[in-house]
C-alpha cells in the first residue's frame, strides 16, 4: 500500500468512534451476549451468568427494554440458595471452556452455582427499574422483594465476624475484584498444599499479563476446595476458614443497597422489613470506622483474622458516598486522596493507587480502570454535591470507551482496552451513564 494511503488509514483508525455509533454498538453487544433470560459477561472467557455483571446489564437493558431488564434480575435469583445467598456464578450447564466449573465448586443447590456471592448491587438496580415505571414494575418488585431481603440477611448474618459490622469476603472472587492487592497479605497466609492438579482456561482467552498469577490461582482453588469440603457452611467459613477480609467494596455496596431496600419496603408497606433493615443500617458508621485508614486518607480493606489494614488505596475506597456516608473530617482527607489519584489518571479511577509499588496498569484489579466502578463512584459523588468530579469521571470513562471500544477494563493512563472484548457490562454502563445520550437524558 502506498505510504500516504497507509498513513490515512492509520489516522482514521485512531479517530475515536462517534457516540451515536457507540450507542448502536453497545445495544448490539447486549443482544449478542443474551442467552435466553440472562446475559453472558462476554462469550468465550465467561460463558455463564455472573451476579453483579447481570445487574449492571439490567441497568443497560432498562434504557432500551425495561421488561428484559426485569427478566435479567429475576433469572439471577434462580441461583439463590435456601440460606439466602445469591451465588456469584449461576452455571446451569457445564461449558468446558471455563475453569473452575460446577464439578469443582460442588454446590448442592438445585441449579448448579458457585459457592460464594458477589457485590449486592441488585436492590439498588431493582429500585432504579421500579422508579422508571412503578406501575409496570410493582408486581415484579413484590416477587423479588423477599428474595432481596433474604440475600441481605445472609450477608448481615453469615459474612460478619462476631461483634463486627464490616462485611467479610471469604474468597477474593466474592469481592468482584479478584486479584486486588487488598487480598495479598491474607492470601499469602493460605497454604495451597494438596490442591488437585488443574489447568487454567482464562489465560487461553486473554494475555496472561492481564490476568491473576498462578501463585494467586493456586490459593483461589484452595479456598474453593476448602468450601466444598465443609459443604459450603458459610458461617463456619467466615468464622474459621483460611481467608476472611473486610471489604470496603461489598460493605459500601450493601449499605447502599440496604437503603434502597428500605425504600422499597416502605413502598410495599412491609413494616417489619423496614425495622429489620434499620437494624442493619444502625451499624453502618461502626463498619465505616473499622475500615477507615487515617494514614492513607481512605477506607481500605482489613484482614479480619489479624486486624491488619491494607497498605494501599483501591478504587472502592471512594464508595463511601455511594453508601450514603459522610463524615466531615474523614471526607476532607478522602477528597484530597481522590484529587491526587484523579490528577494522575486521565481514563478513570485506577483500581489501585498509581503511586503504590504494586500498581500495574494492565493487570486486572491491580491498576486498570473499570467502567462499572467509575459509575458507582461518580453516582455517589454526584449525590453528595461533587458534581464536577462526578462529571469528570464520566468523561474519562467515555473517552476510554471511545478510544478503545467496549473492553473489560482500561489502562487508566493511556485508555488502552484490555481483557475480554465486546464486554457486556461496559456496554451497559455506556448506555445507562457514560454516553452523551444518557447524560442529556439525566439532565432533562
Ligand atoms: C471477573 C471479575 C468479576 C466479574 C467477572 C465476570 O472475575 O473480577 O468482577 O464479575 O469477571 O465479568
For 248-278, the pLDDT digits (tens) are 999 999 999 999 999 999 999 999 999 999 9
**Which residue pairs, CB below 8 angstroms and at least 24 apart, start in 187-195?**
187/216, 187/219, 187/243, 189/242, 189/243, 189/305, 190/219, 190/222, 190/223, 190/242, 190/243, 191/222, 191/242, 192/218, 192/219, 192/221, 192/222, 195/221, 195/222, 195/225
Q: Which of 52, 53, 314 to mutate to test the pocket of ligand 1 (most atoms within 8 A of CB)?
A: 53
Residue 131's pLDDT is what? Answer: 98
Residue 17's pLDDT is what? Answer: 75
CA of 174 to the centre of ligand 1 (A): 9
Name the pLDDT band for 238 (thresholds 50, 70, 90). Answer: very high
Q: What DSSP line would sit under 424-442, residue for residue?
A: HHHHHHIIIIISHHHHHHH
User: Across all residues in the chain, what is the average pLDDT?
Assistant: 95
For 315-346, the pLDDT digits (tens) are 999 999 999 999 999 999 999 999 999 999 99
Q: Does the pLDDT value for residue 11 go beyond 90? A: no
How far is residue 81's CA from residue 159's CA, in Å, rounded to a whole number? 15
CA of 176 to the centre of ligand 1 (A): 6
Taking residues 208-215, what's their average pLDDT? Answer: 92
Q: Which of 43, 50, 365 to mutate to test the pocket of ligand 1 (most atoms within 8 A of CB)?
A: 50
The reply to whether 178 belongs to the active site is yes
Q: Does the pLDDT value for residue 399 go beyond 60? A: yes
Ligand 1 atom with least separation from CA of 364: 8
For 176-185, the pLDDT digits (tens) are 999 999 999 9
Taking residues 2-10, what's their average pLDDT? Answer: 51
How far is residue 348's CA from residue 91's CA, in Å, rounded to a whole number? 32
Q: Does the pLDDT value for residue 12 go beyond 80? A: no
Give the strand order in the sheet containing 302-303: 168-169, 245-246, 302-303
Percent helix, strand and coil across the chain, each rounded to 5? 55, 5, 35
Q: Which of 45, 178, 375 to mutate to test the pocket of ligand 1 (most atoms within 8 A of CB)?
A: 178
Residue whose CA is closest, atom 4 of ligand 1? Answer: 176
Q: Does the pLDDT value for residue 208 go beyond 80? A: yes
Q: Name residues contacting ligand 1 (CB within 6 A).
A: 41, 46, 50, 52-53, 176, 178
Residue whose CA is closest, atom 9 of ligand 1? Answer: 176
Catalytic choice (178, 258, 311, 411): 178
Residue 16's pLDDT is what? Answer: 65
Please count the residues of the chain: 444
Copy the grid coordinates of residue 397: 470513562
For 114-129, the pLDDT digits (tens) are 999 999 999 999 999 9
Taking residues 217-236, what's their average pLDDT? Answer: 97
| Percent of residues, the chain, with pLDDT higher than 90 | 92
Taking residues 218-228, what's their average pLDDT? Answer: 97
| Cα-based torsion angle of the residue sequence 191, 196, 200, 201 in order, rounded to the nearest 10 degrees | -140
Reported CATH class of domain 3-436: mainly alpha
| CB contact at 8 A, 439 and 418 | no
Ligand 1 atom with least separation from CA of 175: 9
3-state secondary structure 271-298: HHHHHHHHHHHCCHHHHHHHHEECCCCE
Q: How many CB atoms lie within 10 A of CB 292?
A: 22
For 347-367, the pLDDT digits (tens) are 999 999 999 999 999 999 999
Q: Does the pLDDT value for residue 7 go beyond 80? A: no
| Percent of residues, the chain, with pLDDT higher than 70 | 96
DSSP 421: S
Hunting for cell 484452595 — which residue is that? Answer: 222
CA of 172 to the centre of ligand 1 (A): 11
Task: Give the largest Cα separation in the chain, rounded.
Answer: 75
Question: CA torsion sign, 154 to 160 to 166 to 171?
Answer: negative
For 29-38, the pLDDT digits (tens) are 999 999 999 9
The domain locations on the chain are 3-436
For 45-63, the pLDDT digits (tens) are 999 999 999 999 999 999 9
Please state whether beta strands 302-303 and 245-246 pair in parallel, antiparallel, or not at all (unpaired): antiparallel
Ligand 1 atom with least separation from CA of 423: 12
Residue 10's pLDDT is what? Answer: 47
Amino acid at each position: 500500500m502506498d505510504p500516504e494511503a497507509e498513513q490515512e488509514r492509520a489516522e482514521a483508525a485512531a479517530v475515536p468512534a462517534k457516540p451515536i455509533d457507540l450507542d448502536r454498538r453497545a445495544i448490539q453487544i447486549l443482544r449478542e451476549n443474551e442467552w435466553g433470560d440472562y446475559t453472558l459477561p462476554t462469550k468465550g472467557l465467561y460463558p455463564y451468568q455472573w451476579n453483579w455483571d447481570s445487574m449492571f446489564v439490567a441497568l443497560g437493558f432498562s434504557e432500551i427494554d425495561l421488561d428484559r431488564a426485569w427478566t435479567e434480575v429475576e433469572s439471577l435469583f434462580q441461583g439463590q440458595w435456601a440460606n439466602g445467598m445469591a451465588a456469584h456464578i449461576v452455571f446451569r450447564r457445564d461449558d468446558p471452556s471455563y475453569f473452575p466449573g460446577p464439578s469443582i465448586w460442588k454446590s448442592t443447590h438445585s441449579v448448579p452455582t458457585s459457592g460464594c456471592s458477589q457485590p449486592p448491587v441488585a436492590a439498588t438496580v431493582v429500585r432504579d427499574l421500579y422508579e422508571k415505571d412503578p406501575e409496570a414494575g410493582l408486581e415484579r418488585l413484590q416477587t423479588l422483594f423477599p428474595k432481596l431481603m433474604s440475600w441481605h440477611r445472609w450477608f448481615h448474618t453469615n459474612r460478619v465476624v462476631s461483634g463486627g459490622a464490616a462485611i467479610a469476603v471469604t474468597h477474593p472472587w466474592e469481592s468482584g475484584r479478584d486479584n486486588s492487592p487488598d487480598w495479598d497479605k491474607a492470601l499469602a497466609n493460605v497454604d495451597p498444599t494438596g490442591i488437585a492438579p488443574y489447568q487454567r482456561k482464562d489465560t487461553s482467552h486473554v494475555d496472561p499479563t492481564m490476568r491473576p498469577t498462578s501463585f494467586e490461582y493456586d490459593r483461589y482453588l484452595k479456598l474453593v476446595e476448602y468450601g466444598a469440603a465443609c459443604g459450603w457452611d458459610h458461617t463456619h467459613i467466615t468464622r474459621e476458614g483460611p481467608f476472611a477480609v473486610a471489604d470496603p467494596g461489598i460493605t459500601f455496596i450493601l449499605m447502599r443497597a440496604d437503603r434502597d431496600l428500605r425504600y422499597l419496603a416502605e413502598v410495599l408497606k412491609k413494616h417489619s422489613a423496614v425495622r429489620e433493615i434499620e437494624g442493619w443500617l444502625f451499624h453502618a458508621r461502626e463498619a465505616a470506622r473499622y475500615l477507615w485508614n487515617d494514614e492513607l486518607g481512605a477506607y481500605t480493606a482489613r484482614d479480619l483474622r489479624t486486624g491488619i489494614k491494607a497498605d494501599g488505596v483501591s478504587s472502592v475506597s471512594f464508595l463511601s458516598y455511594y453508601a450514603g456516608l459522610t463524615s466531615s473530617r474523614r471526607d476532607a482527607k478522602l477528597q484530597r486522596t481522590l484529587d491526587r489519584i484523579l490528577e494522575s489518571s486521565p481514563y478513570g479511577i485506577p483500581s489501585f493507587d498509581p503511586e503504590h509499588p504494586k500498581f500495574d496498569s494492565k493487570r486486572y484489579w491491580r491498576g486498570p480502570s473499570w467502567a462499572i466502578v467509575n459509575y458507582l463512584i461518580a453516582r455517589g459523588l454526584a449525590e453528595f454535591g461533587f458534581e464536577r468530579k462526578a462529571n469528570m469521571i464520566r468523561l474519562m470513562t467515555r473517552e476510554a470507551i471511545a478510544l478503545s471500544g467496549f473492553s473489560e477494563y482500561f489502562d487508566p493512563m493511556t485508555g488502552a482496552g484490555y481483557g475480554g472484548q465486546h464486554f457486556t457490562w461496559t456496554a451497559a454502563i455506556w448506555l445507562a451513564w457514560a454516553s452523551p445520550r444518557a447524560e442529556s437524558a439525566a439532565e432533562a
